[in-house]
Each structure stands twice: as C-alpha cells, then as structure tokens.
Amino acid sequence: MFGWIHVSNLTKTLTPTLAAPRAALPPEGANFPRGGSSENSPPISPSPGRRAWQRFRRNRLGFYSLVVFCVLVLISLFAEVISNDKPLLVYYKYSSALGNNNAGYSHFYVPIVKDYPETLFGGDFETPTDYLDPFIQTKLSQDGNWAIYPLNRYGSKTLNYFAKSPNPSAPSRDNLFGTDDKGRDLLAQLIYGFRVSVLFALALTVIGVVLGVISGAIQGFYGGKMDLAFQRFIEIWGAMPELYLLIIFSAVFSPSLALLLILLSLFGWMGLSDYVRAEFLRNRQMDYVRSARALGVSNWHIITRHVLPNSMTPVVTFLPFRMSGAILALTSLDFLGLGVPPGTPSLGELLAQGKNSIDAWWISLSTFGVLVVTLLLLTFMGDALRDALDPRKADK
C-alpha cells in the first residue's frame, strides 16, 4: 500500500514537469532561426579574408595610406576637370555690334569636350580659342557672359604666351608651383605625370603578376623535369642586360609607353614566380590535394580551385612593392631620356629639368616631394598588407 502511494505521489509530482515542454512548443509553421537558437548557437567566425581586412584596418598607418593613395589616384583620373586651360562651361551672348547672324541669341558651350574657333567669341581667326588670351577672357566676362574654369587653369601641354616673367618662373599667384623650362605649369605637370606613372605601374604590375603566377604554378605543381627546365630558362633570361636592351630598342623604335610596357614585362615576372613556385611546392603535398587526386579531379581544377587560392599570400603582399618598383623604373628611364615620348607629362623629365636648372629649385623640390610621398604610401600599404596576411599574427 505504501508503494502505491509513493508511485502515485511521484506521478503527480512529475506530471506538470512532463506537460511543460508540450505547452512550450512553438506553433505550427513558425520560423526557426537558422543554425539553431541564437542563445545556444556558437558565434559565427568571420572568413579568413574578413579577418585579414580587420587586421589591415587596425594598422592605421597602412589603412590611411591606402585612403590617401586612392584619393590621389582619383584626383589624377579627373585631371582634365581639375587642371585644364579650357573652361568647363561657357555662356556667351552674341552682340549685334559684331554683325553676327546670331545677334541677340545666347548659347552654352563645353570647351573641355569640343574645340571652338576664336571667331565664335569675337576673335579674328578660325584657329582654336586660346582661353588664356586676355582679349578672350575679357569677352567671356562682359555683357552678361560667363565661364566656369577648372581649379588650375593650365593643362599638361599648355604654354602660357602671356606670362609675366621668363621661364622657368618661380611660384606665383598665376602658377602656384611655378613653371618648367618650357613654360608649362608645374602643378599640371605633376598631376598628369602622377597619373601616367600610376597607370603605367598598375599595368606593369598586372602583367607581371599574371606571368609570374602562371610560370610559378607550372613549376611548383608539376616539378621534376618541368621545374628544372623552367629554372634553367629563368637563369639564362635573367642574365640578359635589361638596360642595354632598352637602349637598343629605344634607338630602333620610336619611344612609347607600349614599348616600355612590353620590354619591362619581359623581365618583371621572374621575381614573383619564385615565390609562387615555393608556395605550390609546399601546398601540393597537402592532404586536400592528395584527396582531390584520389577522387579523380583534374590537374586544372586542383590548381585553380585548391592550390592557387592558398598560394596567393605572397602575390597580394608584393603588389604595393611591385608598383613602387615600376614607378621608380619609369622615372629612372625618363630621367635618362629612354622613357615616354617627348611632350608626355613625366616625373623623370621634371627631375632632369631640375638637374639642368639648379636655380629653379621649385622643379626638383616639388617633383621629389611627389615621388617620396607616393613611394612612402605604397611602402606603408605593403607593410600593413604583409602583417594582415601573416597567419602567425593572431587577432587581438
């Protein structure tokens, strides 16, 4: 009897407990949070790329160097809008005193896009309008006419025939950074020359990375005789005198950026290929590569989907340093007269002018400052990128 009472009391005690979960069940058709309950599920770990970006952002010097460099590149890409000898927009009202058929009418013109003859604004010749001419400036500022000019009213090839002092002239209100020995505005030369250097360095870096990754991947993945043959070819090719070849080709062909890009690309891939080769030699021995081979995956898919993504760390790390090396190479060749065609804005040409005109200190000082700032920004970015991609540095 005691046993029955004990069991019944136990049943009464457990009944509310067993019934509670049934009452706590969610209604039918309710949406469950993905991955389980938010209270019990573990926190989602960020991807390796996101962790690397977070480490890069924590390096303030490298991050702000990237921001400043991107701003400078963006400004140089819109150089025609910022520094140009042509107005961005002109509003001109024709006067009846000139006997023009359009007398009394007014029109909008966009000289930065299209050249207009001087006779359109009351001049005497059919030649393209020189908007630095005091006569044209007077015509565009009277009788309700107006024009919107860029911040710097000189282009990369603008020769100011109405300068107040001989060339090269010191910095003044008209030319904030002065002029070079040809009378061109130095600020415009620096803006356009910086754009040429950066775009050339970017193109040379992309070509060198593509060639270096392909050659390094072939050597490291296949190894054996393929690796041995590539190594002997690189030793022979690297022993060729690059500067002499540039001098010979510059004498045979007319100088151009395309010629420089081709010649420098022929030698710029060998350094990176060694790093990619070492990464492929290490990663091809990993278990995931052996498993892929056991499953019958082709070599192309193993290289592109498995080995290459895990071998890109040295490639990404060396990008800023390769760009700085390309900028220095172009500047050095321009300084020696083996670079861009005459008339093309160039930092190396400005350095050569500064060497030839010691008294014109503003030419050497401003050009040297642009080079130093550019190379420092790229160096800081490279250091931060190297630390961000270093697997030995744990997140703090």
Query: What are the pLDDT digits (tens) for 169-191?
Result: 888 888 889 888 888 999 999 99
The crossing angle, in degrees rounded to 10, of helices 257-265 and 186-222 is 30
pLDDT given at position 369? 94
pLDDT given at position 31? 53
pLDDT given at position 122? 82
Band of pLDDT at residue 37, cut at 50, 70 and 90: very low
Sorted by sequence, the CB contacts under 8 Å of residue 21 that are 6+ apart come out as: none
pLDDT at 371 over 90: yes
Q: For residue 289, give both structure tokens.
A: 């590569």
Element (H, E) at 68: helix 60-77
pLDDT in tens, 240-289: 888 888 888 877 888 888 888 998 998 888 888 989 999 999 988 889 88
Q: For residue 302, give both structure tokens.
A: 């193993």
pLDDT given at position 195? 94
pLDDT given at position 257? 87
Element (H, E) at 148: strand 146-148
pLDDT in tens, 187-217: 999 999 999 999 999 999 999 999 999 999 9
**Number of other CB atoms surrounding residue 195 within 10 Å:** 19
Q: For residue 329, give both structure tokens.
A: 């190479």
Question: Is 193 buried (19+), middle (13-18) or exposed (0-12) by CB count in 10 A?
Answer: buried
CA distances from 376 to 52, 64, 69, 199, 270 (A): 22, 12, 10, 18, 25
Band of pLDDT at residue 2, cut at 50, 70 and 90: very low
pLDDT given at position 21? 46
Look up residue 307 and give its DSSP letter: I
pTM of the model: 0.80
pLDDT given at position 374? 94
pLDDT given at position 8? 44
Tell me which of 169 and 105 has the higher pLDDT: 169
Band of pLDDT at residue 380, cut at 50, 70 and 90: very high
pLDDT given at position 1? 39
Do residues 321 and 307 touch, judged by C-beta distance below 8 A? Answer: no
Sorted by sequence, the CB contacts under 8 Å of residue 163 that are 6+ apart come out as: 169, 174, 179, 183
pLDDT given at position 187? 93
CA distances from 75 to 13, 205, 290 (A): 78, 21, 50
Band of pLDDT at residue 368, cut at 50, 70 and 90: very high
pLDDT in tens, 46-97: 777 788 888 888 889 999 999 999 999 999 999 999 999 999 999 988 765 4
pLDDT given at position 17? 45
DSSP string, 196-221: HHHHHHHHHHHHHHHHHHHHHHHHHH
pLDDT in tens, 328-364: 999 998 898 888 888 888 999 999 998 888 888 999 9
pLDDT given at position 9? 47
Q: For residue 66, give both structure tokens.
A: 């990237």
Q: How far apart are CA 95 and CA 190, in angstroms?
A: 40
pLDDT at 106 over 50: yes
Band of pLDDT at residue 15, cut at 50, 70 and 90: very low
User: E-assigned strands of 10-66?
Assistant: none
Least confident of 19-23, 204-208, 273-277, 373-377: 19-23
